Amino acid sequence: STIKAQNRLTGDIEYNGIDAATVINSVLSGLSAVQGLIHISPGTYTISTKISVPSSVIIQGEGPLTILKAASGYSNTVNIIENADTTDGNTNILLRNFKIDGNYQNRTGTTEEEKGHNLMLKNASYCSLENIYSIQAAASGICLAQGSNNNNVFGNVITDSYNHNYLFVGTTNGSNTVY
C-alpha cells in the first residue's frame, strides 16, 4: 500500500511511495535546513533503506503500535535508524514513542562494526531517545557510538537483540544519561 506524508499545516500530501523509509527520508531531506517534527501514525511500516536523521528533528510515533520493521532481506551491514552525519555529528535529535523491529531472522549478511543496529547515534550530542521499543536487532537495539555525549536515553524497552540490547562504545565524558 502507499505511504503518505501529509503536511499538517496545509493538509497537502507532500510525499508518497510504497517504501516507508524512502518517504520518511524525503520528509527529512525537506526539513534538513529547519527544525521539524515527523509524526508517524500507528501501523506497521516496512523499512528497506536506512533512515538518516538530521539535526533538530523530532520523529515520534504513538507507542508500540507504531512499528518500523526491517524488510525481509534487509542487510545486516546497515543500521535501521542512524543520525545523518556520523562524521561531524548531529545535535538535538528527539526520537520517541515507536517500535523498531529489526527482524533479524529474515535479514542477510553478517553484522560489522557499527552496523546492524536498530538505532545508532555516532558523534551525536544533546539528543534524546524516549520510549523506544526495540526488538530483534541484528546487532544491538540502541547503540551510542564514538563521540556521542550529553544524550538522554530513557523509558526504552529493548529485547531479543542478537548481540546487545544497549551498546555504548567510545562515548565521551561519561555524560550520557540512561534511566
Whether the CA torsion 32, 82, 106, 102 is positive or negative: it is: negative
Question: Mean pLDDT, to the nearest integer, of 85-102?
Answer: 97
Instruction: Output the pLDDT for position 178.
Output: 76
Confidence of residue 8 (pLDDT cuts 50, 70, 90): confident
Task: Please check whether residue 20 is in contact with residue 59, taking contact to mean a CB–CB distance below 8 angstroms.
Answer: no
Length of the chain equals 179
Closest to 131 measured CA to CA, from 49, 33, 54, 60: 60
* Interval 98-139: pLDDT, tens: 999 999 999 998 777 778 999 999 999 999 999 999 999 998
Provide the pLDDT for residue 171. 56
How do residues 57-69 score in pLDDT, each as one tens digit? 999 999 999 999 9
Q: What is the mean pLDDT of the chain?
A: 89
What is the spatial distance between Cα 109 and Cα 156, in angstroms, rounded to a whole number? 27
- pLDDT band for position 165 (cuts 50, 70, 90): confident
Q: At 10, is the pLDDT very low, low, confident or very high (cuts 50, 70, 90)?
A: confident
- The mean pLDDT of 47-53, rounded to a whole number, is 95
Higher pLDDT, 8 or 97: 97
